[in-house]
């Protein structure tokens, strides 16, 4: 550690400080006769103490500071990263796996004397704590380079040793990803590059959502290596409630060693929920790996689409725009009808959008009565054809006093206090630039308990007139949209952004809030999603409400998860703030049901649900090692590829690399001398000693 003193002023200012100290002591002691009986050195000692004190005090006025430089030698860091995915377990014998682990341990011990060694492992993610088990369900080589770049590249990174078979089934090709690692890469080539006899599913393509009563296709791509002349059976099955039902069966004749074929299977969706299906190929004689002969997948089959009726007074470009926006969501089925031609049963619909209704020429009181009778939510789109007196009588959300024969052009302003759903920042910023809508001229007021989402901006003046408002009465939701011209918004959105995302978000969330039924349950328990992979942890949350619908979490909440065989797993929720959470960890592939229970106000409350686990089989599809990739990676990072039997040579290779050497780091810190506590006590000590001597010898 090296320390140097510096000043904010020229060094010769020290002369003035010294002169000030000597001058002060001279004036104080030169003609002082009170210590005449003592030796001249006593008087001079007192003068020296005073001169030194004054000199040090005046020196502090020059703002001196001390600069400290600290040197630290950092030994090179060697990172040893080992692939712990399932492909290593399948492609290497248990003996070779144990031998590799032993040699890696010996290498890390040999290098520890000269280098700092950090062992990590990876698969689907990077494990900073090295693990021996080969259980990761996928391989992502990019994660390793990204972790080293973000966490270790600022250290004295000497070398990276990467033990893997080169197979990656997640992430991009590491050859084309520049992570900025300035250290040699030495790869240890695991696995076997020989293509063994194998029949497998290359791909299984399917829709994740289907509708009850529909038929949907499943495309299976089948390939094989070295299986010419073999015969296999392709079987499609449905698994539900622990019962397996065969749907179809087909013979596959493999006519070449590099065989590939595509089969299209048709499934009839005759059961709602998340349904588990399985396709399988019977193994062929001498096949190396039969795990990739089976693929299971899940399809969510919905009971029915929500039917939305666009009931209009007359043709209008808004109708086509709204229908296009609505049908972007596969859960919605939109139909346009005109009020004078409408003859269908209103009860067949889940949501009614009334465009320019009621009008002067169309009395829809009978339709409104049927809507109310069937508890169907509705959206009024107010335009120039709307009869304002009839409109005011038809709903209790917004009242308009005006004349529909006169019009006003308006733009949208968001209500900052709206909280029924969230709006993207992009929509909040850009909607105000959209072209104006047209609405009847008049005075707009929110009636009852209406919740305003958008206000009207008239001629660049924000008003408290509602543009979109929501309300709910007797369990029936009603929304009012005061303006026509949504078609202009949709065209403008596409012209500006090459998509319809912003208008689709606004209309979609408006429809969703209006159509969704309010959940009045006092106890709810849910999973974060209904389909997990078997390498994902299953999370639950639960909410409990008191009679005032305030969220509470005093009582305990229990959870029982049951698999298809009836085996139960018991858990207790954790209390977090005013709700409950639970991490149930990993589950094996299959379908599960759960029951959450609690007691509130001496009442037993229950919430039930289901979730499914699908297997991640990425590691079983391709077991041919990619040593060419490893060789290219090593060359790209100025390293070398070796085989497991040569792991012990890495020590000499690293020691002989002249670029891997310790680095001297210097850190400097600057501190004002006035902050040094010992200097204060030194000045205080000098003044105190002078005062004590003067008092002791009878004068002051």
Q: pLDDT class for 251, splitting at 50, 70, 90? A: very high
Of 28-37, 79-88, 258-267, minimum mean pLDDT range: 28-37
Model pLDDT, residue 367? 93
Q: pLDDT class for 308, splitting at 50, 70, 90? A: very high
Of 37-51, 491-505, 624-638, minimum mean pLDDT range: 37-51
Closest CA to 226 of 294, 292, 285, 169: 285
Q: Where in the chain is the domain with CATH 3.40.50.880?
A: 306-515
Reduced to 3 states (helix: H, G, I; strand: E, B; else coil), residue 373 is helix
Strand partners, 581: 541, 574
Around Cβ 97, how many Cβ atoms within 10 Å?
17
Residue 517, pLDDT above cutoff 90: no
Residue 379, pLDDT above cutoff 90: yes
Report which DSSP code applies to 271: S
Q: How high does pLDDT run on average in the chain?
A: 87
Q: pLDDT class for 659, splitting at 50, 70, 90? A: confident
Distance CA 668, CA 662 (A): 20
Model pLDDT, residue 617? 67
Verdict on whether the full-model pTM lies above 0.75: no
Model pLDDT, residue 36? 67
579: CB partners within 8 A, 6+ apart: 541, 542, 543, 544, 551, 553
Model pLDDT, residue 212? 80
Q: pLDDT class for 393, splitting at 50, 70, 90? A: very high
Per-range mean pLDDT, top range of 148-162, 168-182, 409-423, 482-496: 482-496
Q: pLDDT class for 261, splitting at 50, 70, 90? A: very high
Residue 488, pLDDT above cutoff 90: yes
Report which DSSP code applies to 579: E
Dump pLDDT digits (tens) for 111-141: 988 889 999 998 888 888 887 788 787 888 8
Closest CA to 436 of 454, 418, 424: 454
Residue 1, pLDDT above cutoff 70: no
Residue reference for tokens 């588990």: 276
Superfamily of chain region 76-194+624-656: von Willebrand factor, type A domain (3.40.50.410)
Four-CA torsion 686, 688, 690, 695, nearest 10 degrees: -170
What proportion of the chain, given as a percentage, has pLDDT over 70?
98
Q: pLDDT class for 474, splitting at 50, 70, 90? A: confident
Q: Report the pLDDT averaged over residues 562-583.
A: 91
Instruction: Give me the helices (H) in 137-240, please.
Output: 141-151
Q: Where in the chain is the domain with CATH 2.60.40.10?
A: 198-302
Dump pLDDT digits (tens) for 33-88: 677 677 777 778 888 888 888 888 888 888 888 787 777 778 889 999 999 888 88
Cβ contact 624:193 at 8 Å: yes
Model pLDDT, residue 568? 93
Q: pLDDT class for 504, splitting at 50, 70, 90? A: very high
Architecture label for domain 306-515:
3-Layer(aba) Sandwich (3.40)
Please provide the CATH number assigned to the domain covering 523-614. 2.60.40.3880
- φ and ψ at residue 516, rounded to 5 degrees: -75, 140
Around Cβ 553, how many Cβ atoms within 10 Å?
19
Cβ contact 48:25 at 8 Å: yes
Q: Where in the chain is the domain with CATH 3.40.50.410?
A: 76-194+624-656
Dump pLDDT digits (tens) for 133-187: 887 878 888 889 999 988 888 888 889 999 998 888 787 888 887 777 888 999 9
Distance CA 366, CA 79 (A): 77
Distance CA 661, CA 639 (A): 16
Please, what's the b/e burial string for 213-239 (b: 16 or more CB within 10 A of its CB; e: otherwise)?
A: eeebebebebbbbbbeebebebbbbbb
Model pLDDT, residue 3? 66
Residue 700, pLDDT above cutoff 60: no
Of 210-214, 442-446, 467-471, minimum mean pLDDT range: 210-214
Is the pLDDT higher at 508 or at 45?
Answer: 508
Helix (H) or strand (E) holding 264: strand 258-268
Distance CA 348, CA 577 (A): 43
Model pLDDT, residue 571? 95
Model pLDDT, residue 658? 85
Distance CA 264, CA 270 (A): 19
Helix (H) or strand (E) holding 429: helix 425-430
Distance CA 240, CA 301 (A): 13
Which CATH topology does 198-302 take? Immunoglobulin-like (2.60.40)
Model pLDDT, residue 439? 95
Distance CA 690, CA 48 (A): 9
């Amino acid at each position: 550690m090296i320390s140097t003193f510096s000043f904010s002023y020229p060094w010769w200012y020290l002369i003035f400080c010294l002169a000030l100290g000597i001058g002060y002591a001279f004036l104080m002691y030169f003609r002082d006769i009170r210590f005449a009986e003592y030796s001249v050195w006593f008087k001079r000692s007192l003068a020296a103490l005073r001169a030194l004190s004054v000199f040090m005090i005046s020196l502090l006025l020059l703002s001196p500071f001390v600069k400290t430089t600290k040197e630290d030698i950092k030994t090179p860091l060697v990172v040893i990263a080992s692939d712990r995915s399932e492909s290593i377990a399948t492609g290497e014998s248990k003996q070779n796996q144990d031998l590799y682990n032993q040699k890696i341990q010996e290498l890390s011990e040999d290098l520890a004397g000269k280098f700092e060694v950090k062992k990590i492992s990876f698969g689907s993610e990077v494990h900073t704590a090295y693990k021996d088990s080969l259980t990761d369900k996928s391989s992502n080589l990019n994660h390793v380079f990204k972790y080293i770049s973000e966490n270790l590249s600022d250290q004295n990174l000497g070398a990276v040793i990467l033990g893997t078979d080169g197979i990656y089934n997640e992430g991009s090709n590491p050859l084309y990803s520049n992570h900025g690692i300035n250290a040699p890469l030495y790869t240890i080539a695991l696995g076997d590059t020989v293509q063994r006899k194998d029949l497998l599913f290359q791909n299984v393509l399917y829709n994740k959502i289907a509708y009850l009563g529909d038929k949907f296709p499943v495309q299976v791509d089948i390939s094989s290596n070295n299986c010419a002349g073999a015969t296999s059976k392709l079987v499609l099955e449905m698994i539900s409630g622990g019962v397996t039902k065969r749907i179809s069966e087909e013979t596959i004749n493999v006519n070449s060693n590099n065989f590939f074929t595509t089969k299209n299977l048709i499934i009839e969706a005759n059961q709602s929920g998340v349904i588990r299906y399985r396709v399988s190929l019977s193994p062929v004689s001498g096949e190396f790996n039969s795990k990739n002969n089976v693929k299971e997948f899940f399809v969510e089959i919905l009971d029915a689409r929500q039917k939305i009726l666009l009931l209009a007074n007359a043709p209008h470009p808004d109708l086509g725009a709204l229908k296009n926006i609505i049908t972007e969501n596969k859960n919605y089925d939109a139909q346009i009808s005109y009020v004078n031609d409408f003859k269908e049963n209103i009860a067949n619909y889940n949501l009614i959008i009334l465009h320019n209704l009621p009008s002067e020429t169309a009395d829809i009181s009978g339709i409104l009565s049927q809507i109310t009778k069937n508890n169907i939510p509705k959206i009024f789109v107010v335009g120039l054809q709307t009869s304002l007196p009839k409109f005011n009588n038809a709903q209790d959300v917004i009242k308009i006093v005006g004349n529909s024969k006169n019009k006003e052009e308006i733009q949208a302003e968001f209500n900052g206090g709206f909280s029924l759903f969230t709006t993207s920042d992009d929509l909040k910023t850009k909607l105000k630039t959209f072209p104006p809508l047209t609405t009847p001229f008049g005075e707009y007021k929110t009636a009852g308990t209406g919740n305003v989402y958008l206000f009207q901006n008239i001629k660049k003046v924000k008003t408290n007139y509602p543009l979109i408002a929501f309300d709910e009465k007797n369990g029936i939701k009603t929304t009012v949209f005061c303006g026509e011209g949504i078609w202009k918004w949709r065209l403008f959105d596409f012209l500006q952004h090459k998509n319809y995302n912003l208008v689709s978000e606004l209309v979609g969330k408006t429809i969703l809030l209006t159509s969704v039924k309010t959940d009045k349950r006092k106890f709810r328990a849910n999973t974060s999603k209904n389909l997990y992979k078997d390498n994902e942890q299953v999370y639950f949350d639960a909410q409990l409400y008191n009679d005032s619908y305030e969220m509470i979490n005093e009582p305990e909440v229990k959870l029982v998860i049951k698999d298809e065989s009836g085996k139960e797993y018991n858990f207790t929720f954790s209390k977090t703030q005013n709700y409950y959470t639970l991490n149930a960890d990993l589950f094996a592939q299959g379908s599960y049901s759960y029951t959450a229970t609690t007691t509130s106000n001496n009442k037993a409350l229950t919430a039930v649900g289901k979730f499914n686990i699908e297997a991640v089989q990425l590691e079983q599809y391709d077991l041919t090692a990619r040593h060419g990739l490893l060789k290219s990676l090593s060359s790209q990072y100025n390293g070398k590829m070796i085989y497991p039997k040569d792991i012990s040579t890495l020590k000499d290779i690293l020691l002989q690399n002249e670029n891997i050497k310790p680095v001297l780091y210097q850190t400097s810190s600057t501190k004002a001398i006035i902050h040094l506590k010992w200097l204060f006590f030194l000045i205080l000590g000098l003044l105190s000693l002078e005062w004590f001597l003067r008092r002791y010898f009878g004068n002051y």
